[in-house]
Amino acid sequence: MRTFPGPALSILLVFLSTTGLCASPVAPRAQLLGHASASARAILLPARASGLETVALSFTPLKVFTDDAELIIVDQDGHAHLSELPDTRFYRVAAANAPGLAGVLAVADAGNIFGLVRSGTEFSQLRFAPDGQLTLDRIDMGAVPARDFRCANDHSASGMSMDATGMLGHVMPAEPDPAAASAAYTARIAIETDTEFLGRFSGNTTNATSYVGGLIGFTSTIYDAQVQTNMQVSFLRLWTSPDPYVESTPECLLLESGNYWNANQTSTSRTTMHFLSGKTTTAGIAWIGVLCRGAFTTSQSAVGASCSSLAASGSFGGGYGVTEGISGSFNPGSPSVVWDVAGVAHEIGHNFNSPHTHCYGGIGGSPDPVDQCYASESGCYAGTPSLPGPQGQGSGTIMSYCQLRAGGFSNVALTLGAGHPFGVLPGRVPSRMFAHVQSQAGSNPGCLALQAIDLIFANGFD
């Protein structure tokens, strides 16, 4: 990853309220801790960084939990308790002088914060320095473990692709442009976990809950910008006792969790459920095109699985996805949170009806795939794998497998494809996802709420 040469900079502190602007000598730490989201649209604070002439960051309150969100904590005796959400505030991060900069900051009541900011292919941690000033610490992506994250959809049978399967090999018309929409949708995301996930936080349910909020919040900023759909957590369950899931492979965990939820969680209102697993395997899998989808019968063979605890077929399917290998940690020395975001955004992208980008041949008005980064998925690109752009320059996108080519994760930009300069019509991806959102919302308006976009202060600036 490129470095930020140059001296560290500090700039003026400005507070933006609904009534006007006023200068303040108060340190950013005190400003954020004293900021009430109900009384202000955004707060502008200085941040120290290298290589930028000015770093004026805007923090706009970000809603990551629904008003009726449920936090369920299962105790050591197996009893489920409805608990209060921790008093953690979340903010969308933007910068007036850097339109491509975006991120999320979580501020706990005790003053602890964690934040992740991206600008192009660069990532930075946002934290408080000992003097109370905000600092942007560049994450060295070379320090990210070479995790061979794979989406298990690539070797599943055709039943896995559902909506997309019948479309491969046929030129489909261009999808609607989400950027032209005048309203945004809200997806209710239910989060299931396992005991290994809570173990990543040493059993601290407050930290685990805040991390989930930040993870879904960051993913939401990507989808909000490109699919006009924001995400809010409507349900989160943490297991301090042994969880009911015995399977370990992503394919089997998808079927097992689907079986459990179809039997026990039918009353849980959701657009989709995502399983965050702390198991050490770094992989994921998800059903394609299943927003607002109810239970359906499928089989182990449909996902290429062999699951000892399950019947050969059953009520396994629905609006579900799994990401294994969630790290739950965030510091510059262990920047695995970037993998967490990429994995979750990728798998949820399947729920939004996107196949992998090397499978877009014949979809969205072009006979060619978006990229040729992978060549071993049935019905998809089958030539010699190659990147759509220079190695290490983020030429791949979230729904790609470009991290498997030389250069690793530096080949992937955290974008779904809107305005992306590499590949063949990468904007087909978010357009296809948006078409699925519109279709499902039309049939299930209570599943994907629609509201007008407030263009004023939409990016934190007037």
Is-contact 290 351, C-beta < 8 A?
Answer: yes
pLDDT tens digits for 69-90? Answer: 999 999 999 999 999 999 999 9
Distance CA 289, CA 293 (A): 8
pLDDT digits (tens, 9 = 90+) for 197-255: 999 999 999 999 999 999 999 999 999 999 999 999 999 999 999 999 999 999 999 99
Return the pLDDT at 173: 43
φ, ψ at 124 (rounded to 5°)? -140, 150
Closest CA relative to residue 260, chosen from 193, 176, 201:
193
* Residue 358 CA to its chain's centroid (Å): 20
pLDDT attached to residue 8: 26
Residue boundaries of the structural domains of the chain: 150-450
- Position 180 scores a pLDDT of 57
Which residues in the chain come in under a pLDDT of 50?
1-25, 38-40, 146-147, 155-173, 455-462
150-450 belongs to CATH 3.40.50.970: no
- C-alpha 287/C-alpha 253 separation (Å) is 12
E strands within 177-259? 183-193, 229-239
**What pLDDT shows up at residue 40?**
46
For 131-151, what is each residue's pLDDT tens digit? 777 788 887 765 555 445 556
Joined together, the tokens standing for residue 187 give 């997806």
The pLDDT score that the predictor gives to residue 25 is 41
Query: Three-state secondary structure along 144-174?
Result: CCCCCCEEHHHHCCHHHCHHHHHHCCCCCCC
Predicted confidence at residue 135, as pLDDT, reads 81
